Amino acid sequence: MIELLLFGSTFIAVFSLGLQSLNVNQGHYWAAAGTSLLISSGHILLYRYMPEAKAVEVLAYYAGGVLGITSSMWVHARTLGRKRLTDQAAIEKRVADAVLARLLTTQYDRRSDIH
């Protein structure tokens, strides 16, 4: 029976970590916070047997997970995420400039052919 409980709790934690990664990558704060609760639940099932966790310790564990993931998303958006957005904007500007230059060249070539 304990083996099934340990399997289930590990499955829940690892499955939730995968979902959380997707939520974090897509910027879904509430979904990431929700999956943090699932990850915590899986881990708590493991920790309940080594040693017993009290209610206040369970609440602290949940709070640490929720605040940890949402804080990391907030920090990432203002550090690494900002650089990514800046790089993406630069790429889009280069593409737009290239398209505009091509359109202008095509228009000039058409006018030159008429005269």
Q: For the chain, how many structural domains are there in total?
A: 2
CB–CB of 107/99 below 8 Å? no
Answer yes or no: do 28 and 49 share one domain.
Answer: yes
Answer yes or no: do 43 and 97 share one domain.
Answer: no
Question: Residue 112: which domain range?
Answer: 79-115
Answer yes or no: do 56 and 6 share one domain.
Answer: yes
pTM: 0.54
pLDDT at 76 over 70: yes
Answer yes or no: do 16 and 69 share one domain.
Answer: yes
The pLDDT of residue 50: 63
pLDDT at 58 over 70: yes
Q: Residues 6 or more apart from 41 whose CB is under 8 A from it?
A: 9, 12, 13
What are the φ/ψ torsions at residue 27 (nearest 5 degrees)? 75, 30
Separation of alpha carbons 80 and 28, rounded Å: 17
Answer yes or no: do 3 and 56 share one domain.
Answer: yes
